[in-house]
Amino acid sequence: MKSLNTIQKLSKIGKVLSKIAFIFSVIGFCGCIAGLLSLNFGNGRLIKIGGVTLHGLIPEEYGYNIKSITATLSGWLIVCAGEAVLAKFAESYFKNELKAKTPFTLAGAKKLLQLGILTITIPTACAVAGSIAEGIIAGFMKVKQTEAMDMYFDNESSIVLGIMFILGSLLCRYGAEMREHSGEIRQ
């Protein structure tokens, strides 16, 4: 039973990390909204410190274009929303696993399989949707290139993690079937 205790501790850690990921995704989502609102309010004179405006500081100091930042934030808004949804699914899986007190249930194996599929598809779909939204907004605003376009498709870790969840679900399903089979033999 030492292994089961280790699995339960890891599930508790997974539940906590899922909550943290959800919170950071929501913060990122809200940060994108705040950034979009602050960049698009007025004519740039809304935030002024010592004669320097936010709109003046960004292009002069960092060399970024306000329009390209707007397009990039719009794309990241979609990515953060998708990551928040995925974190909630992961938290739900870990809650159910802790409630069952074992990962070896057919329902748990099915949820882990779903989590694996979602871990592959949600980040990839959000990356594509975010990139499309960014491109459309950049096109309407007549921006040549946005700042973070190349960062969207860096989701190899999500694909690998999703595959690991899917393989783990097969092991959990096998364990659940073995538990059922041993219960039938005893009766």
- Kindly report, residue by residue over 12-48, the tens digit of the pLDDT: 999 999 999 999 999 999 999 988 887 766 555 556 6
Q: Is 135 exposed, middle or buried (0-12, 13-18, 19+ CB in 10 A)?
A: middle
Q: Which of 33, 121, 136 has the alpha carbon at shortest distance from 77? A: 33
Rounded (10°) angle between helices 106-140 and 66-100: 170
pLDDT tens digit sequence for 74-118:
888 999 999 999 999 999 999 999 999 999 999 999 999 999 999
Total-model pTM: 0.80
Contact criterion met (CB below 8 Å) for 120 and 66: no
Structure tokens at 167: 């393989």
Rounded distance, CA 147 to CA 72, Å? 7
Q: Residue 52: pLDDT above 80?
A: no
